């Protein structure tokens, strides 16, 4: 692909914004904040990806989905670069991504708890349990309880609303 005919970086970002997360298809990879950089290096498009965590089972599927989406747009040479530092944090989920999670029925991570240590300050000293208030994504109630630290995927915990009685996932802060 010649320089004159290659797509702009803005176009590539827009295409990547259409690639859904395989575990939570309501949000895109860019909403999730795992696409760190997109750049042309000669005739190769280099996409830098930071996995949500190093053992994420969806990483290989994400890489295949990125390659497939870009190949479908006519990009012949794609290099995926894995970047582990800085480590991904839930603070990187976009505001739009958080709203999409909520509308889908998943409580988004509480703003700032991953980066500034608030979560650690919300641990009850006697019980060792978190006193973090997670609002129900269905009715908005703050009267919720954690059922299990492990939800439908490793990055989510299971909660239940005491008002509407609906179970829901909470996207854990990392």
- Chain segment 10-39, per-residue pLDDT in tens: 999 999 999 999 999 999 999 999 999 999
- Chain segment 102-144, per-residue pLDDT in tens: 999 999 998 655 544 444 444 444 544 556 789 999 999 999 9
Look up the domain containing 100 and give its range.
93-171
Alpha-carbon distance values, 98 to 37, 106, 115, 117 (Å)? 21, 9, 16, 20
6, burial (CB in 10 Å: exposed 0-12, middle 13-18, buried 19+)? middle
**Residue 88 placed within a domain:** no
pLDDT of residue 122: 47
Contact in structure between 21 and 35 (CB atoms under 8 Å):
no
Whether residue 109 sits in one domain with residue 77:
no
Q: What is the rounded distance in angstroms from the CA atom of residue 11 to the CA atom of residue 36?
A: 15
Whether residue 114 sits in one domain with residue 152:
yes
CATH of the domain at 54: 3.30.300.130
Number of folded domains that form the chain: 2
């Amino acid at each position: 692909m010649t320089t004159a005919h290659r797509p702009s970086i803005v176009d590539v970002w827009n295409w990547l914004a259409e690639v859904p997360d395989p575990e939570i298809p309501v949000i895109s990879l860019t909403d999730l904040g795992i696409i760190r950089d997109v750049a042309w290096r000669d005739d190769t498009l280099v996409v830098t990806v930071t996995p949500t965590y190093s053992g994420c089972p969806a990483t290989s599927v994400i890489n295949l989905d990125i390659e497939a989406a870009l190949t479908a747009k006519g990009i012949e040479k794609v290099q995926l670069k894995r970047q582990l530092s800085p480590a991904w944090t839930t603070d990187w989920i976009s505001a739009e991504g958080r709203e999409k999670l909520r509308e889908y029925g998943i409580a988004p991570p509480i703003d700032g708890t991953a980066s500034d240590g608030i979560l650690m300050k919300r641990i009850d000293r006697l019980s060792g349990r978190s006193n973090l208030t997670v609002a129900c994504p269905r009715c908005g109630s703050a009267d919720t309880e954690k059922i299990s630290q492990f939800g439908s995927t490793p990055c989510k915990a299971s909660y239940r609303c005491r008002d509407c009685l609906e179970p829901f996932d909470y996207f854990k802060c990392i």
